[in-house]
Structure 1
Amino acid sequence: MTDDMDVINSHSFYKYTDSAMHHITTQQRLKGLAEYGKPFHPDNHDNEELINHLLSEIADLPVYALALADRIRKQEERIKELEAENAKLKSGNEDVERRDNQLSANPFKIMEEVNGDFPVERMSTTIISFDFDENTLKWNEELGIEFLTLDEIISQAMKITNKNKVRKRIPFIRVTYETGLWGVIFEVGNYYDNKKWIVHGITKGYA
């Protein structure tokens, strides 16, 4: 029996309920003392008064119970609404993240051949060559944006480096093109009759 009482007395939830009920009981006794001027005692009331007190408390009980049930129902409905909104926001965030990943994904792969009509913007491009100065290139301009395709870079470079030469050589050219989310390094050259642009590196861009 002692062991059972130890289990009960050490139970955390029982301790909580005992503490809560002690607080409520104390508040009710103080309230009664303030209203009636003395503590409750059965000898101070006849049977009819005790029955009326009991019926009054019983009559209030379903009112409080229904009020509590109504509040619980409304709170549960609100919780479901918030959970639905949260799921919608989470789904939207996942869609945005998925689109960002798609946008930030580098479209090039190392060592793949690249079509020469791929355009690069001057402000995002660095060109390195042992045979000519990139500043000698003439860039196209449209709507204030300067650009060249990769093959246009080769064409101008060959005119610069092969002037007055019978056999035309493809000069070595390295083009580094950086966007905000990805970058790529193209290379061509330094051997005859080969205008293939190859991806020699990829970067994460300047962002």
Structure 2
Amino acid sequence: MPTPYNVGKFAGSDYIQTYHLFIVYHDLNKTILYRGGPARGGMYADLVLRGLAQQYESPTKEYGDIDWPFDNLVTNRMEGVTENYDYEEWKTNGSQPRHMVTIAQGPDYCGLDEEFTSQARRIGLLGRTYNAIDIDRTDNSNATVYTILQEMGLPLTKPDVHAPGWGTNLHLETTLPEEVLNGINDRIEPVRREIDWFNGLSPLDQVRVLQRAFGGP
């Protein structure tokens, strides 16, 4: 799914539409989503409270009490929550959009929910700091998907979209070096300002921004 932020602006380039990857697994008449993302903000905390999702997270933080804008990288397992992910529309009309790709299908891939869930839990318990864009190490939703697929030996097939973090195995990447940590707050400050600006808009203005970014009525 597309993200609402223009990372090209932060990088000093033209508009770059980034995408948030997740895994949709259909098995035995049930559909399950696995994803990673920031602990702070988003609709997923509400889904957890409503009993529609499980969340896996570490009780500790990678860098102690540093005030990161998104907090830890956490993971979720959501069963039957597909209405916001284009999946039902794809099943109904049979047309798979460009930002979706089938990586595997058939009887050899039945019964994998337990392993998918185990891999998602392992990542959530790492206590990694969520990094939305490349700050010498990108720990985000796309790295989560890549790590799960690689650890399970599944095809590493990415949709034809810009997905920073793809190619990062969260179990193999090392911590950020000290020289990066010393300057990292300056580098993420533009991201924080952009998010604060968006969150400060009225709901109507937020809709207008998203319409300009993604098109549509």
User: Which structure carries more strand by proportion?
Assistant: 1
Q: TM-score, normalised by structure 2?
A: 0.20
Name the larger-Rg structure: 1
Q: TM-score, normalised by structure 1?
A: 0.21
Of structures 1 and 2, the one with the larger relative CO (CA 8 A, separation 6+) is 2
User: Which structure carries more helix by proportion?
Assistant: 1
